C-alpha cells in the first residue's frame, strides 16, 4: 500500500474510465470512495481509496447516482454501492486550490460534471499483487470502529 497526501497541483493517479465501487460517509462531511482503476493505465488492476475530507458543498456530492435520496442526518456513517464510470477527476482549473482549501472537478459519464469544495484529499493505492482486499478490509474496519467509538461517546452525553 502506498499513501499519498495530494498536493494542490495534480492528483497522483489517473481516474479516467475507473469505476467508483463503494463509498463510506463519515459524520464530519467526509467521504472515502473505493475505485477500481482502469487497467489500460494500470496493468496490475489496482484499487484506490480517495479520501475527501470536510466537503463544504456536500449537497453537490450527493447528486452522485444512488446517493441523492439518502439523508446523512439519519445515520452518520453509511455505506453505498456506487458502481459508476468516471470520466475525469482533477483539480478545478477555474478555482485555485490551496492547502486546506481544495477545489475538485468531477465529470461522470452518468450524470455530467460538478465541483467539490473540501478541506483536503488523500489517495491510498492498493496494487492487485498485494493482498489489497485484506488491507482494505482492515481499513474499513478502522473507519467503522472510529465511528462507533465517537457515536458511543456522544450517546453518553
Bigger pLDDT: 157 vs 51: 51
On the CB side of 130, how many CA atoms lie within 13 Å of its CA?
12
CA gap 131, 108 in Å, rounded: 29
Residue predicted with more confidence, 37 or 10? 37
At 12-31, the pLDDT tens digits run 999 999 988 877 777 788 88
Phi-psi region of 75 (alpha: psi -120 to 50; beta: other; left: phi over 0): beta
Helix residue spans in 11-89 (DSSP H): 58-61
Question: pLDDT tier at 118 (50, 70, 90 boundaries)?
Answer: very high
Q: What is the pLDDT of residues 74-109, one digit of tens each?
A: 444 455 556 678 888 999 888 888 888 999 998 877
Strands 2-5 and 47-55: unpaired
Q: How far apart are CA 100 and CA 125, in angstroms?
A: 22
Query: Mean of the pLDDT values across residues 41-68?
Result: 80
For residue 59, the model assigns a pLDDT of 78
Reported as a pLDDT band with limits 50, 70 and 90, residue 127 is: confident
pTM of this prediction? Answer: 0.70
| 106 contacts: CB under 8 Å, gap ≥ 6 | 86, 88, 89, 113, 114, 115, 116
Cell digits for 97? 486550490
Least confident of 32-36, 64-68, 103-107, 137-141: 64-68
**CA distances (Å), 42 to each of 30, 45, 130, in order?**
27, 6, 14
Amino acid at each position: 500500500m502506498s499513501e499519498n497526501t495530494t498536493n494542490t497541483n495534480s492528483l497522483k493517479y489517473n481516474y479516467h474510465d475507473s469505476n467508483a465501487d463503494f463509498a463510506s460517509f463519515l459524520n464530519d462531511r467526509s467521504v472515502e470512495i473505493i475505485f477500481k482503476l482502469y487497467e489500460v493505465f494500470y496493468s496490475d488492476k489496482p484499487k484506490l481509496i480517495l479520501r475527501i475530507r470536510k466537503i463544504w458543498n456536500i449537497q453537490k456530492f450527493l447528486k452522485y447516482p444512488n446517493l441523492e435520496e439518502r439523508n446523512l442526518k439519519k445515520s452518520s456513517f453509511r455505506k453505498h454501492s456506487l458502481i459508476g464510470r468516471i470520466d475525469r477527476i482533477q483539480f478545478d482549473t477555474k478555482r485555485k486550490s490551496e492547502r486546506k482549501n481544495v477545489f475538485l472537478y468531477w465529470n461522470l459519464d452518468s450524470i455530467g460534471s460538478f465541483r467539490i469544495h473540501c478541506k483536503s484529499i488523500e489517495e491510498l493505492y492498493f496494487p492487485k499483487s498485494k493482498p489489497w482486499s485484506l488491507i482494505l478490509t482492515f481499513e474499513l474496519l478502522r473507519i467503522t470502529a472510529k465511528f462507533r467509538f465517537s457515536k458511543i461517546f456522544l450517546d453518553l452525553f
